[in-house]
Amino acid sequence: MDIKNCSRLIVVSHLLPTVCRFRGKLLKSSAVSISSYEQYLAEKEERYKNTEINKCYNSKWEFTHRQSHSAMNSGIQVLKQELGADKVIHLGLPGDLETVEGQKISWNELNENTEMKESLISELYSELKQIPILIEPDTLHDYYNGYCKSVLWPLFHYILQNYTSGRKENEYWEAYKLVNQIFTKKIVEIYQPGDLVWFQDYHFFVAPSLLREAIPTCTIGLFLHTPFPTSEIFRSLSKKKDVLKGILGCNLVGFQTYSYCRHFVSNCTRILGLESTPRGVEYNGSVTAVEIFPIGIDVENLQKELTTSSILKKIASFKERYAGKKIIIGSDKLDMSKGVECKLKAYQKFLRLYPEWQNKVVLIQITSARADDDSNNTLQSEISELVARINGEFGTIEHQPLLYYQNMLDRVDYYALLSVADVALITSLRDGMNTMSYDYIVCQKDKHCPLVLSEFTGVAGSLSDALMINPWDQTGIAHSIYEALTMPKEEQIIKYKQLYKIVSSQTVQSWAKSFVTELLRNSHSYDPSVPIPLLERETIKEKYVNAKKRLIFFDYDGTLTPICKTPAAAVPSIEMLAALRTLTYDPKNVVFIISGRDQAFLDKHLGHIRNLGMSAEHGFLIKYPGGVWINLESDTDLSWKKDVEEIFNFYTERTQGSFVEQKKCAITWHYRLADPDYGTFQAKECQNHIESSVLSKYPIEILHGKKCLEVRPITVNKGEIVRQLIGAHPDCEFVLCAGDDRTDEDMFKALDESYIARENIFTTIVGPPSKKSISQWRVSEPKDLIDIMEVLAQCSSN
pLDDT reported for residue 382: 92
Torsions phi, psi for 539 (to 5 deg):
-65, -50
| 599-622 pLDDT tens trace | 999 999 999 998 999 999 888 899
Task: Cite the beta strand spans of 427-507 per DSSP E.
Answer: 451-454, 467-469
**Architecture (CATH level 2) of domain 1-19+65-136+173-296+510-525:** 3-Layer(aba) Sandwich (3.40)
Contact assessment for residue 609 and residue 582, using Cβ atoms and an 8 Å cutoff? no
CATH superfamily entry for domain 299-506: Glycogen Phosphorylase B; (3.40.50.2000)
Average of per-residue pLDDT across 448-470: 94
The answer, yes or no, to whether residue 191 has pLDDT greater than 60, is: yes
The answer, yes or no, to whether residue 430 has pLDDT greater than 80, is: yes
The answer, yes or no, to whether residue 774 has pLDDT greater than 80, is: yes
In this structure, of 614-618, 687-691, 714-718, 745-749, the range with the lowest mean pLDDT score is 714-718
Confidence of residue 238 (pLDDT cuts 50, 70, 90): very high
How far is residue 104's CA from residue 169's CA, in Å, rounded to a whole number?
30
Percent of the chain with pLDDT over 70: 93
pLDDT reported for residue 12: 97
pLDDT reported for residue 113: 87
The answer, yes or no, to whether residue 68 has pLDDT greater than 60, is: yes
In this structure, of 23-27, 281-285, 574-578, the range with the lowest mean pLDDT score is 23-27
Q: Where are the domains of the chain?
A: 1-19+65-136+173-296+510-525, 299-506, 537-633+717-797, 640-713
3-state secondary structure (DSSP) of residue 658: coil
Confidence of residue 52 (pLDDT cuts 50, 70, 90): very low
Number of Cβ within 10 Å of residue 115's Cβ equals 12
pLDDT reported for residue 57: 45
DSSP 8-state class, residue 358: T
Average of per-residue pLDDT across 300-310: 93
CA 533 to chain centre: 29
Average of per-residue pLDDT across 57-66: 81
Give CA torsion, residues 336, 342, 343, 348, to 10 deg: 140
How far is residue 218's CA from residue 472's CA, in Å, rounded to a whole number?
45
Task: Tell me if 537-633+717-797 shares its fold with 640-713.
Answer: no
How far is residue 732's CA from residue 500's CA, in Å, rounded to a whole number?
75
The answer, yes or no, to whether residue 451 has pLDDT greater than 80, is: yes
DSSP 8-state class, residue 276: B
Q: Helices 340-353 & 474-485, crossing angle to 10 degrees?
A: 70
Query: In this structure, is the dihedral angle defined by the CA atoms of residues 43, 44, 50 and 55, taken in order, positive or negative?
Result: negative
pLDDT reported for residue 675: 87
pLDDT reported for residue 214: 94
How far is residue 683's CA from residue 704's CA, in Å, rounded to a whole number?
9
Q: For residue 194, give the amino acid letter.
A: G
Beta bridge partners of 283: 286
How far is residue 20's CA from residue 510's CA, in Å, rounded to a whole number?
29
The answer, yes or no, to whether residue 625 has pLDDT greater than 60, is: yes
Residue closest to 592 by CA, chosen among 713, 704, 750: 750
Query: Mean pLDDT in the chain?
Result: 89
pLDDT reported for residue 525: 62
The answer, yes or no, to whether residue 685 has pLDDT greater than 80, is: yes
CATH superfamily entry for domain 640-713: Trehalose-6-phosphate phosphatase related protein; domain 2 (3.30.70.1020)
Confidence of residue 44 (pLDDT cuts 50, 70, 90): very low
How far is residue 328's CA from residue 462's CA, in Å, rounded to a whole number?
22
Listed in sequence order, the residues at least 6 apart from 160 whose beta carbon sits closer than 8 Å to its beta carbon are: 154, 233, 236
| 637-660 pLDDT tens trace | 888 999 999 999 999 999 999 999
DSSP 8-state class, residue 206: S
Confidence of residue 373 (pLDDT cuts 50, 70, 90): low
Residue closest to 566 by CA, chosen among 670, 678, 683: 670
Residue closest to 244 by CA, chosen among 211, 219, 213, 266: 266
In this structure, of 16-25, 52-61, 745-754, 778-787, the range with the lowest mean pLDDT score is 52-61
Listed in sequence order, the residues at least 6 apart from 35 whose beta carbon sits closer than 8 Å to its beta carbon are: none
pLDDT reported for residue 32: 44
* CATH annotation of 537-633+717-797: 3.40.50.1000
Confidence of residue 53 (pLDDT cuts 50, 70, 90): very low
The answer, yes or no, to whether residue 64 has pLDDT greater than 80, is: yes
Average of per-residue pLDDT across 237-253: 95
Average of per-residue pLDDT across 736-764: 92
How far is residue 270's CA from residue 285's CA, in Å, rounded to a whole number?
18
Confidence of residue 403 (pLDDT cuts 50, 70, 90): very high
pLDDT reported for residue 234: 95
Confidence of residue 696 (pLDDT cuts 50, 70, 90): confident
Return the H-helix or E-strand segment holding 213: helix 207-214
pLDDT reported for residue 219: 94
Confidence of residue 750 (pLDDT cuts 50, 70, 90): very high
3-state secondary structure (DSSP) of residue 425: strand
pLDDT reported for residue 201: 94
Average of per-residue pLDDT across 153-179: 88
Query: Who wins on pLDDT, 292 or 663?
Result: 292
Average of per-residue pLDDT across 257-268: 92
625 burial level (CB within 10 Å; 0-12, 13-18, 19+): middle
3-state secondary structure (DSSP) of residue 190: helix
Confidence of residue 46 (pLDDT cuts 50, 70, 90): very low
How far is residue 388's CA from residue 95's CA, in Å, rounded to a whole number?
35
Report CA-CA distances (Å) from 278 to 250, 268, 521.
17, 14, 16
| 129-159 pLDDT tens trace | 999 999 999 999 999 999 999 999 999 999 9
3-state secondary structure (DSSP) of residue 11: strand
The answer, yes or no, to whether residue 30 has pLDDT greater than 50, is: no
How far is residue 348's CA from residue 363's CA, in Å, rounded to a whole number?
10
DSSP 8-state class, residue 293: -
Q: Helices 377-394 & 340-353, crossing angle to 10 degrees?
A: 10
Percent of the chain with pLDDT over 90: 67
The answer, yes or no, to whether residue 41 has pLDDT greater than 50, is: no
In this structure, of 35-39, 63-67, 708-712, the range with the lowest mean pLDDT score is 35-39
Average of per-residue pLDDT across 384-393: 94
Most confident of 102-106, 497-501, 521-525, 664-668: 497-501
Confidence of residue 33 (pLDDT cuts 50, 70, 90): very low
The answer, yes or no, to whether residue 305 has pLDDT greater than 50, is: yes
How far is residue 122's CA from residue 292's CA, in Å, rounded to a whole number?
37
Confidence of residue 676 (pLDDT cuts 50, 70, 90): confident
pLDDT reported for residue 269: 86
Residue closest to 219 by CA, chosen among 176, 254, 252: 252
pLDDT reported for residue 37: 42
Average of per-residue pLDDT across 352-381: 85
Confidence of residue 511 (pLDDT cuts 50, 70, 90): very high
| 707-733 pLDDT tens trace | 889 898 887 889 989 999 999 999 999
Q: What is the DSSP string of 117-142?
A: HHHHHHHHHHHH-EEE----HHHHHI
